[in-house]
Structure formats: C-alpha cells, structure tokens
Amino acid sequence: MNADLAETRLLDVAEQLFNDHGIQAVGIDAIRTQAGISLKRLYQLYPSKDSLVHAVLTRRDRNVLADVRRHVEARTDPRRRVLAVFDYLEVWFGDSSFRGCTFINTFGELGGESEAVAEIARHHKRAFRDYLRELAQAAGAPAELGDQLAILANGAMASAPICGGDVAQQARRVAEILLDAATAPGN
C-alpha cells in the first residue's frame, strides 16, 4: 500500500472509530488493525495518537465546511441558501453513521484536557459561524443573524443524536422565522 493510500485509509478508519466510540475508547492497535497497516507505518505517518487525532479533526473540518458550501451553493436565491444549511443538517442527521457533531463530541471528551483539540473545535465553529454570517448578509439580514443561526444549528447538532426525529426540520422552521424577522421592512 503506497503512503498516500495508507494515510487516507488510516484517517478514514480513525475517523469512523472515533465517531462510533469516542477518541479515548479507541486504541492505536484497533485503528492499525482495521486500517490494515503496520504499527511501523502508522507511527511513520503519525508519531502519536494526538497527532492522528489532530489530523482527523483537521481533515474533518475541511471536509464538513466544503460539503456545507457545496450543498448551499447549489442554490441561487440568497434566502434559500441560508435555509439550505438546515436542509444539509437534515440529510446529515439522517445518515446511519451520524453520532453528532465530531467537534462538539470531541470538545466534550477532550477539550478540557487538550488545548490543541479545543482550538480545532473552536476554529471549526468560528468558520461555520462566519459562513452563516456571509449567507445572512447576502440575504439582506444583519451579520448578527449568522451568529444566531450558528447557535441554532449547533443546538440541533447536539440534540439530534439524542432526540432524533425532525430536529433539523424544526431548526429550519425557526431559522425561517429569524430570517423573516431580520429582513422585514424597517429592520
């Protein structure tokens, strides 16, 4: 297995296992075994579990933000683009592998112990909020609406694995109310 393929496989497996079981519950040997790579190769790629966790989170940050953007940018109407974020959440929450937001879960598990993990989670949530601020402004609302929508979306992400059901649809309806209020004449 070439180095690029081994690294991709390793990150895929680590992300899946961390998502399914949590970071602390998953040992390096389980990751190595499921990825089908030698311990030597694993440590050549990532000399510590912390470096592997960092790489998984960094890649997840990039992929999630790109996925959200692709979903949103398939729409042209600025208002529909704002609401498309919540449509994206509905699709994501319906995926059989959904266990909650990786960044919320990881911050809850390790954020108090690892400043590196906490910073990646903060970076991701800031980037998501900033994107919502851009979308809100493009729809004629104040940027502050993006902050409110980020809180709403993150609340849905935290609630969905526990409550299931139509959490994303409910959040979308609240987002519509907030968007209507923020863009009403006189605001």
pTM of this prediction?
0.93
| Alpha carbon distance 44, 42 (integer Å) | 5
The tens digit of pLDDT for each residue in 62-99 reads 999 999 999 999 999 999 999 999 999 999 999 999 99
pLDDT digits (tens, 9 = 90+) for 11-65: 999 999 999 999 999 999 999 999 999 999 999 999 999 999 999 999 999 999 9
- The CATH architecture assigned to 48-183 reads Orthogonal Bundle (1.10)
Task: List C-alpha distances in Å: 10 to 22, 33, 74, 123, 148.
Answer: 16, 10, 31, 23, 37
Match domain 1-47 to its CATH number in 1.10.10, 3.10.450, 1.20.120, 1.10.3470. Answer: 1.10.10
Cβ 72 vs Cβ 85: under 8 Å: yes
Look up residue 158 and give its amino acid. A
Which of 81, 60, 53 minimizes the C-alpha distance to 125? 60
From the list 140, 144, 121, the residue with the least C-alpha distance to 132 is 144
Helices 102-110, 3-21: crossing angle, 10 deg rounding: 70
- Which residues of the chain does CATH 1.10.357.10 include? 48-183
All CATH 1.10.10 domain ranges in the chain, comma separated: 1-47
